[in-house]
Structure 1
């Protein structure tokens, strides 16, 4: 927990099974992923950045938020990936005064993910009987900033990183970036939706985040024990750059997968790498 001025932030991690199954067994001990949810709070009010996939994980998040003894004003969704917004409705039910907020692009992207066909055909199969209810979208759209107890929070539009229209938050009082999925921390980046060309924007997004000169950067996915070190911006840039280079030279998805594993042997969630390699080399 970090304390600066009257604002503070705290991070809660949820470790869960990867959504990518059928990965080679030689990485079995690393076949998991951790999502982060970040609470930014003042003397009375708070904003929760992102939520979780399952009912039990979101209940833990609710209990953890209660422990901070603040009024939840906003639930901010960084992008339209299910593992970041599925719990918003459940959390709002626990904190009925909270407003679910997102950019217009994120709000527009959520309905396609939460269709009955997608919920039943994809997410219920991955997490049978474990999804939170209700699954909802944003209540209100924000553009480029909002405030928490008169403290400014800036919305950073990252563009296409691991999916379309991702965002990060900049909290000047804390010199804090809550990066969403623009940045990863000790976990293989999810690159299945992107392309080698789009990865150039992902690199630029992290370069842009560096210009804020943050003291703390919370990744959307991180090894729980890892520090929120701004060095992860450079690590993410290096990871994407390396993946791009090897992808252009590899003759098969398996070769690319093996080469990246050799360079990043301790990174969690090789399922992301497995799906990413197969997305760029078919």
Structure 2
């Protein structure tokens, strides 16, 4: 866990990082390691009395731990924010919202993506983590003008377009020089490129440019190595560099296995090799054609 507070204005943020979850299903990765998901970071932006939770986690057990963490803060939770529609960023939102009496909010574009992820639960999410994810009806609503207020401080949901998912957003807290970046920026973790059509990373680069234009000093990435800092310039530069490296490596190799091993050599300290392999499988399956949804499911489950 990490934290930062500006005492003069009574505003701060804390970060809880859930360790990678083991995954049910196929055998080990091509390098022999067992499959596990990425670490998940949950952010609590808090004032003197109230707080907003950003990107609640995936499983019941993680939600219990996050709930205990919020309780220990002594703050009243008013809102739960989801930055985009991937289930690992909101499947436990309803459970936590009911417990704390909070409202779940996101952008208008993310809500259809949430429904898509609910429809995919049986064939994807629940197949990978059977009996671990709570019921996840879509209860999120949009915030007027994509804006929340926390004890007089503005929190802005900034829509950035396609990152690791379409219809992504970040939460900008100007009074903290903070961006809670969802999956637009990563921090020491392999990036999920599986939903970048035709190996086209230009939309993601544009999303990063949108975040950089906010001029934050701190960025919380939802997938992060908890031992790294939140320096915004470093995260932006390293995320851009990773995309450049991935693009060049994709062009240089003809098979997902060759790409996977090449990226491991270039990023030996990055966490999340399972997501690297899933992305490799999806991108190379896309080169062969076929249904994009079925390709994505095959990449995760085979």
TM value normalised by structure 1: 0.93
Q: Distance in 1 between matches of 2:270 and 2:230?
A: 16
Q: Distance in 2 between matches of 1:78 and 1:271?
A: 22
1:8–1:42 CA contact under 8 A, matched in 2: yes
Q: Counterparts of 1:184-199 in structure 2 under 5 Å? A: 184-196=186-198, 198-199=200-201
Q: Distance in 2 between matches of 1:200 and 1:55?
A: 36
When the two structures are aligned, how many residues end up with a matched partner? 278
Query: Tell me, which stretches of 5 or more residues in structure 2 are unaligned?
Result: 286-302
1:178 aligns with 2:183: no
Task: Give the 3 Å change call, closer, same or farther, for CA 146–210 of structure 1 in structure 2.
Answer: same
- Which of these residues, 246, 250, 254, is aligned with residue 253 of structure 2? 250
Instruction: Point out the more displaced range, 145-154 or 217-226.
Output: 145-154
Corresponding residue SS for 1:60: helix
Query: Tell me, which stretches of 5 or more residues in structure 1 are unaligned?
Result: none
Displacement, 1:139? 3.5
The match for 1:109 is: 113
Displacement, 1:281? 2.1
Pairwise CA RMSD of aligned residues? 1.8
2:28–2:35 CA contact under 8 A, matched in 1: no
Q: Distance in 2 between matches of 1:144 and 1:129?
A: 34
Q: Distance in 1 between matches of 2:187 and 2:112?
A: 28
1:92 aligns with 2:97: yes
The match for 1:3 is: 5
1:232 aligns with 2:235: yes
TM value normalised by structure 2: 0.87
The match for 2:68 is: 63
1:141-183 CA-to-partner distances (Å, cap 9, x unmatched) read 1243221111111211111110110110110111001000001
More strand by share: 1
Q: Counterparts of 1:1-282 in structure 2 under 5 Å? A: 1-4=3-6, 5-17=9-21, 21-24=26-29, 26=31, 28=33, 31-96=36-101, 98-115=102-119, 118-132=120-134, 134-142=135-143, 143-196=145-198, 198-230=200-232, 231-282=234-285
